Every structure is written in structure tokens, then in C-alpha cells.
Structure 1
Amino acid sequence: MARDTGFPAADAENDFLRVRRRQVLSRLGAWLRREPDDVNIMLPFDEVVAALGRLGERRLGLRVVELDSIVGSVDRTRDFDRRFRPTSATSRQRWQRLALAQRRGESVPPIEVYRIGDLHFVIDGHHRVSVALALGLGTIDANVTEIVTRISAAGIQYRGDLIVKDFRRIFLDRVPLPGEAREAITLTDGWDYAELSEAVEAWGYRLMQDEQVFLDRATVARRWYEEEFVPVVAMVRQAGLITTETEAEAYLWVICERYRLIRSHAWTDDVLTSLRSADQSPTTRRPRA
């Protein structure tokens, strides 16, 4: 919370010194804790859009935006950290002028942001966001343009999360699952999405050979989910082969183990017996938690 001495100019100067000190201490703390490099870095808008896949945009107009939902920037990612604290003193005079205006109760124009899901990215108004956060405000007026993406932005916190989102977007292009099936397939390792897409395409190829008919990707995806994924997950759950992993991770592990042990794509009692034995082996690859 901002301190008030009754002298707005002095208070604005102290506001900047305080927020700069917090930025330096935060960076030092992250280094001492050996946290990943992206913990204090704001999200780059272009990278987020590329990972999620852009479909279009629509103008929403003036909105009241929660400051905590502003997590990134279009082009100022180096000037501020994740909490919009200045990373240098180069903008000190401009920052303090805005802080002084806020303390005097002067009107401040709304910022400009892009919205992706529940996240907001600043187009114009980085210093106004920084000052508002430093003064302990909770919301800010913003002109909002919503970006519609192929996959949801839910779960994105850090820059590293974009890798998994990118793999998921590519997976859903190759395996266009509908509705609930789409939401049911979740993996925590991005590369697992690549492995799973290969497995689904191979399943679809065998299906088309068996039925002597061409099937498009959407049909293969739907039938794989209904005829393979759901029954197999139910079966391995009953067999006690799913622990704390997501169902998709358990499925990916169990089909790989099935083929490694049995060299077969069929499901039999012998397969389950072998998988239980493999599950107890200390060298067995378990799904990633």
C-alpha cells in the first residue's frame, strides 16, 4: 500500500524508489532460490498467440480490468517485470509524473489491452499499470480487444508453459477431438502430445485397413476416443494401473508398454498380466506426474 506523507511530489518519488527496490529484491530472491528464469518475466503477447493459434479478434470497448489479470505486454517485456515493476531507472521521471497525477486525483486515460481468455496484455499504458499496482489499486479502466484462439489460455502462468500449449495446439490440429473428448486429453509434458498424436494416427491407419474405407481426421479422432481411449482407460483403471497421472498420460504409457512387452496392438488378459508385472518393475517407465 502506498504511503502518504501529505506531500504528493515527495510521495510519488518514494513510490518509485520503493517499487524499484522491490523489483531488485524480487530478482535477487529468485536467483537465491534458483527459480526458473521466466518466473519474473512478463508474458510476450506474440509468443502466447503463436502457441495458442489465432482465429480472430473483436473489439469489446471500455472495461474495468483486474490488475492481477494483466500478465504480459505487446512490446515492453524488458522494461518491466511480471508485476510491472520498472527494471531500470530510465523511466523514473515519467513514472513519477503519473504517480503524482494519481495522488492528486487527476483523471488518467484508460490503458489499451488485448484479452486472451482471462489474461490481459498491455498495448499502451505500461507506466499507468505500474503506478496503479504500486499504489495498491485493484482495477484499472481499459479499452479491450479480445483475441480468439484455437486453444484455451487456461493454465498459462509462465513463459515455459507456452511450450506445452504449442504442442497441444499441434496435437489438436492432427487429432481434432470434439467437445468433452478435447478437454479430457491433457498431458503435462509437451513432447507427450507428439507421441500421442503418432499413436492416434497409427490407430486410425489400422482402422482404415480393417474397414477398407477412407476416414477423415475428425472421424478418426472421434472413433479413437470412443472405441479406444475410453475403454482402455476404464480397463487399466480397473486393473489398478492408473495412479495419480492424467488419464491421457496413463493411456500413453500403457499402450507403449503393451507393444514393448507383447508386440501386439490387441488387448487380452495376457496383456494385462504382463502390464501388471511391468508396473512393479523398478526400471519401468512410468507416466510423468
Structure 2
Amino acid sequence: MARDTGFPTADAENDFARQRRRADVARLVSWLRREPDDVNAILPFDEVVAALGKVGEKSLGLQVVTIESIVGSVDRTGDFDRYFRPTSTHSRARWERLAVAQRRGESVPPVQLYRVGSMHFVIDGHHRVSIACAMHQKTIDAYVTEIITRISPEGITQRADLLIKDHRRLFLSRVPLQGSQREAVQVTDPWEYAELSECVEAWGFRLMQEKGEFLGRDTVARRWFGEEFLPVVRMLRGADMLPEHTDAEAYLWIARERYRLVRRHMWNDEIVAELRDRAPRKHKPAT
């Protein structure tokens, strides 16, 4: 780490230039590694909340927030990278002016943040966060508003992760599983959530025809999980089929193959045995 000169203006100028170089180097390294474009991109608040589904919000007042938890912005996603390094020189004058003020010990107001899970998004104070990063501060004072979402934001690290969150949110709106049942149904391909939704709704329709009565989505979801999903998964695991897949992925695959094979919506050990040889295997990467 470069040493300070003791002159606030010179040190602020050096800090900005250093952060700009680091941003450019990070972008070049990402390109050389053929990494996705969004690896170093700041997360957009609106897209994250849209994918998760906003339920409500509440003010938490003044908080001490860790710098590393600040990963996104409400409206300045193009001005800073994922580590709040400036991506251009157009904000240099303001950045350096605020940095000089901090180095001189002048009072700096808290920033304003949204909290989504463990992530924070800047409403106001982007330059102050950027300067805090440059000066290797661990925490920053902030007025925080917590956003309550329909599904958990856990697992979001880059923009590409929002697609699967969005599809999972839509799946749970169509198949409103609760508690541990909700957590037990996971897929890694976003589009499979749509296909799984269709499977559950079709199963519910057949159940309503059989019973001769209307059943709400909550009831269909609960009964599908207990009467269809769990028994099938137990048969699959007992037959040691698709061990590399999640329970939901295994269920979805065998549901497709069952209908192709027997054209019937039923399960028994004979069908599972007949499908065992058809089960795909995920290839392990070479070491």
C-alpha cells in the first residue's frame, strides 16, 4: 500500500489515480480470463428488488455498516465498479474535494443505504463510499432502510444471479410452498422453475378433477409436495438415481421420462426401475 505524503490534496489525487488504475486493471484481467461482463459490475438495486419481489420496507436509523457489504447502487451503476472504484475521470473533482475534506478531519455526514438481506445499496453518498474503500476503512456510518423481499437474496453475487431469483420468485407465486418445503425445492437452471410450475399446476388440475372440487394454490402446493414430490424423490434416492442433481431436478427429469415411456401419470417401482438406465450422468470436470 502506498504511503501518504502528509499533504491532503496530493494524497487525495494519488488515491483517485490509484483507484482508477485498479479499476482498469480489474477490467482487463476479467477480459483476459473471459469472465462474464458483470463480474466487476456494481449491482443495480431496482433489478435486484424486482427479481426478489418487494414486500415492504422499514427505517433502521443510523447504523455502522461494513464497507464490504455495500455492493450496489440505486442510480450510479455506471460510475463505479463492484469495489466502488471510479470507472471514469468525470467525477474526479468532486471525489478529490471530498477526500481532501476527510483527510483534514472535517465532518462527513452519514451515507444513505438500502439493505436487502446482508447487502447494501447506496442511495446517497457514492463518493464517500468510494473514498472509504480507497482509504481502506472497514466501516461507515449510514442511515439504513431495510427492504423486505418475497424470497431470500442469499446467493446473489453478480447480475447474472438475478435471473434464477426472478424465476424462483415466479415459481413460488404459482406454487406457494412454505417453510422447509420451500427450501427443499431448488433447481439450478432458471427455466426449469417454469417447467416445474407447469408440472405442479397440471398435477393440481388432475387432483381437482378426481376430487370434483376446487383447490386453492396453497392446498395444491402442500399436497403436491407431500403426495407426489416426496414419494418420488424417495424412490429415486432409494434407486440411487441422479445423485448429482437436486431433488427437484431429479423429479423433473423423471416426470418427463415417465410420461414419454408409459403415457400415464402414475408411479411405481417398476417404472423407476425401467427409467434407471435412462438417467443422465453429470460429467465431473477433469482435474
Name the TM-score, length of structure 1 as normaliser. 0.94
Q: How many residues align?
A: 284
Per the alignment, residue 26 of structure 2 pairs with 26
**In the alignment, residue 23 of structure 1 is paired with which amino acid?**
A
Distance 1:214 1:90 in 2: 61
- Residue 160 of structure 1 pairs with residue 150 of structure 2: no
Q: Secondary structure at the match of 1:278?
A: coil
Per the alignment, residue 59 of structure 1 pairs with 59
Q: CA offsets, 1:162-192, max 9 Å, x none?
A: 1111111110110011111111111111100
Per the alignment, residue 111 of structure 1 pairs with 111
- Residue 128 of structure 1 pairs with residue 143 of structure 2: no
Per the alignment, residue 87 of structure 1 pairs with 87
Per the alignment, residue 40 of structure 2 pairs with 40
Per the alignment, residue 102 of structure 1 pairs with 102
Per the alignment, residue 194 of structure 2 pairs with 194
Cα distance change, pair 127–89 in 1 and its aligned pair in 2 (3 A): same
Distance 2:61 2:215 in 1: 44
Q: Secondary structure at the match of 2:123?
A: strand
Q: Secondary structure at the match of 2:224?
A: helix
Deviation of 1:2 after TM superposition, in Å, equals 5.7
RMSD: 1.6
Per the alignment, residue 253 of structure 1 pairs with 253
Gaps of 5+ in 1: none
Distance 1:159 1:3 in 2: 35
Distance 1:198 1:42 in 2: 34
Deviation of 1:105 after TM superposition, in Å, equals 2.5
Deviation of 1:31 after TM superposition, in Å, equals 0.8
Per the alignment, residue 243 of structure 1 pairs with 243
Per the alignment, residue 10 of structure 1 pairs with 10
Deviation of 1:108 after TM superposition, in Å, equals 1.2
Distance 2:176 2:273 in 1: 33
Deviation of 1:125 after TM superposition, in Å, equals 0.3
Gaps of 5+ in 2: none
Q: Secondary structure at the match of 2:236?
A: helix
Q: CA offsets, 1:253-285, max 9 Å, x none?
A: 111111122222111222112111212xxxx58
Distance 1:2 1:176 in 2: 54
Q: 1:2 touches 1:15 (CA, 8 Å); kept in 2?
A: no
Alignment of 1:176-187 (within 5 A): 176-187=176-187
Q: 1:65 touches 1:139 (CA, 8 Å); kept in 2?
A: yes
- Could you tell me the percent identity over the aligned residues? 65
Q: 1:113 touches 1:121 (CA, 8 Å); kept in 2?
A: yes
